[in-house]
Amino acid sequence: MSMVENTSVSFAQSQSQTQAQSGSRAKPPAVPGIRPITPVVGAEVTGVDLAEVTDEAFAQIQRAWLAHSALLFRDQSLSDADLVAFSRRFGTLDQAPVNENGRMTAAAFPEIYVVSNIKGADGKPIGSLGAGEAVWHTDMSYLPVPPDASLLYSKEVPPEGGDTWIVSMEAALAALPADLSAAIVGRSIKHDGTYNSGGYLREGLRASDNPMDSVGTPHPIVCAHPETGRPTLYLGRRRNAYVIGLPVVESEALLDRLWAVIDQPGLSFAHRWRVGDVLMWDNRSTMHRRDPFDPESRRLMHRTQIGGKVAPQPGA
């Protein structure tokens, strides 16, 4: 077992060649290789075709997932059904959310959310989030039970820009100065639901920039990851965030100090997209953001979202 793991990359590669040549030959399990992207977050998984993942390979992917909080799979060629089938192995999928352009899903797959700046023949965008910057955020943390994870699969990418950044919120928590750690003990943040990460007003909501009265849900600032138990900082997004129980000015000052930690070097990585990449992030222990790109170029992503299983719980 451990010998197979140690030689996993070359073993899996030679094996997929053998399968391609011999067709019906019985398949020994493909064993993925795991290569950390940074010491604190992210790993690239190599030697695996997400359209056919054995239970053994999946067990290894799952271990890497919990260890690294974000996984990258390159050179994939997936149908929407393949993307949905692989995503489902992590849990029940959410229906694509309604966004600034309505509910933009892939044909016949209500669980696939289209993230794109491309306009259709009618001149209307075929997806959400446009070409602008998406600021640091966790997906849909304004809900009582936010989604566990998202998988983003690239079908068209711009020649430059549009990188997706992932930050470790476990490492961010560990990087807090002592006085800041002390200041957040037992506290919660109200996570605003008014705007999405592109700054667009969510459907049916009233525009507000008052953190005290905007719509949202409180969650502990320090959460325990429900599967690993590891403590993680849980900030959601900055706009309209409010530390429950503090006067707004104090809440703003505390949040500004916490958010400043996110941009500290060594906590994050930028993913430069190629067509055929799948990037998945743990929505409980990471945040993500996107660089803007030239609106004249095309970017098309299909996204699935793993539904939340439990509400965020307070951590140590």
Nearest Cα neighbor of 71 from 60, 79, 82, 80 is 60
Among 290, 293, 302, 306, binds ligand OGA (CB under 6 A): 290
Dist. CA 189–CA 183, nearest whole Å: 13
Q: Which of 99, 197, 214, 240 binds ligand OGA (CB under 6 A)?
A: 197
What would you measure as the largest C-alpha separation in the chain, in angstroms? 69
Does residue number 288 form part of the binding site for ligand OGA (CB under 6 A)?
Answer: yes
Instruction: Name the residue nearer to Mn ion (CB basis): 51 or 126.
Output: 126
* Residue 301 interacting with ligand OGA (CB under 6 A): yes
- CA pair distance 204, 84, nearest whole angstrom: 28
Site for ligand OGA, residues 34 to 93, rule: CB under 6 A: none
Of 56, 51, 1, 68, the residue nearest 32 (C-alpha): 56
Binding of Mn ion by 148 (CB under 5 A):
no
Site string for ligand OGA, 88-127 (x = CB under 6 A): ---------------------------x------------
Considering only residues 303, 308, 312, 315, which one is a binding residue for ligand OGA as defined by CB under 6 A?
303
Question: Applying CB under 5 A, does 139 fall inside the site for Mn ion?
Answer: yes
Tell the smallest beta-carbon distance from residue 129 to Mn ion (Å).
8
**Rounded to 5 degrees, what are φ and ψ at 62?**
-60, -40
Contacts (Cβ under 8 Å, ≥6 apart) of 62: none
For 272, list phi and psi in degrees, rounded to 5.
Answer: -90, 120
Residue 115 touches which of Mn ion, ligand OGA, none (CB < 5 to 8 A by kind)? ligand OGA
Q: Give yes or no for residue 282 binding Mn ion (CB under 5 A).
A: no
Q: Per rule CB under 5 A, is residue 170 in the interface with Mn ion?
A: no
- Phi, psi (rounded to 5 degrees) for 68: -110, -10
Helix (H) or strand (E) holding 294: none
284 Rama sector, left if φ>0, alpha if ψ -120 to 50, beta otherwise: alpha
Name the residue nearer to ligand OGA (CB basis): 61 or 152.
Answer: 152
**Residue 280 touching ligand OGA (CB under 6 A):** no
Phi-psi region for residue 63, left (φ > 0), alpha (ψ -120 to 50) or beta?
alpha
Return the one option of Mn ion, ligand OGA, none that residue 277 interacts with (CB less than 5 to 8 A, by type): none
The 137-176 contact track toward ligand OGA, x by CB under 6 A, reads: --x----------x-x-----------x------------
Dist. CA 221–CA 127, nearest whole Å: 32
CB 170: neighbour CB atoms within 10 A?
Answer: 23
User: Quick one: 139 or 277, whose CB is closer to Mn ion?
Assistant: 139
Which residue has 């930690």 as its token pair?
261
Q: Which residues bind ligand OGA (CB under 6 A)?
A: 115, 129, 134, 139, 150, 152, 164, 197, 288, 290, 301, 303
